[in-house]
Structure 1
């Protein structure tokens, strides 16, 4: 299991995935339409004749897929890996951001009419 947090911070979302002990070179992140896929692999440590007493850290391939909602700019997704945590920044598209709409009145429109 790959633990994740997902939260909104202003005009972007942040996905933080815990990947302790995983080589950053084995991490693959891609987006296909609205589907974000995160793959990672932890290799098993084998020490020749070692006899394991406890082995709780799973090895193998890990996969998480997240369906992204509308209104996100999937072309500008970025990611960085630090201290065993992969952070994926998913910006909100300009069209989906709240915007102020100017309100005009009929009286204001009458004043703007010019005669020629």
Structure 2
């Protein structure tokens, strides 16, 4: 089966224009991530292969979740590059969090090049059942009188 991609030639030209000299530091293009909701929390997973775990940073400020990480370039001067396609530098993603998120309980782990961020739903935003009082169950309120002396 032959697949036709009308943009493949454009991608080749764009890569050529955006890439710099071989062996130089280039800015990472993106941080691929997935986001899903499981029960009462969101799970964000981001691919960060080759990133030093100490450089991974997850911050929450004013309803914005910011993920940043840094991959350093090789510092060997005697390297003769035959192919240099991996990007080095700082990765950064920002997501706006809704009102229904418990920002104080967000947690993160970094294992085997994958960052996992658990974002719990706030208690006030969780679905709940509202009790309905039936007419026969309501108590009547009797007015009270206060004696004035």
Q: TM-score, normalized by length of structure 1? A: 0.91
Structural RMSD (CA): 1.5
Name the structure 2 match of 1:78.
107
Q: What per-residue deviation string (whole Å, max 9, x for no partner) do you get for residues 35-80 of structure 1?
A: 0011110000133311111111100111101101111000110000
Name the structure 1 match of 2:73.
44
Task: Give unmatched runs, 5+ long, in structure 2.
Answer: 1-29, 143-149
**1: CA distance between counterparts of 2:68 and 2:140?**
62
Name the structure 1 match of 2:3.
none
**2: CA distance between counterparts of 1:114 and 1:66?**
51
The 5-angstrom pairing of residues 17-56 of structure 1 reads 17-56=46-85
Residue correspondences, number? 113
Deviation >3 Å, runs of 4+: 112-115
Task: Call closer, same or farther: CA 1:64–1:106 in 2, change over 3 Å.
Answer: same
Name the structure 2 match of 1:106.
135
User: Which structure would you say has the larger RCO, counting Cα contacts within 8 Å and 6 or more residues apart?
Assistant: 1
Q: TM-score, normalized by length of structure 2? A: 0.72
Structure with the larger strand share: 1
Q: Displacement, 1:107?
A: 1.3
Task: Give unmatched runs, 5+ long, in structure 1.
Answer: none
Point out the structure with max Rg over C-alpha. Answer: 2
Name the structure 2 match of 1:94.
123
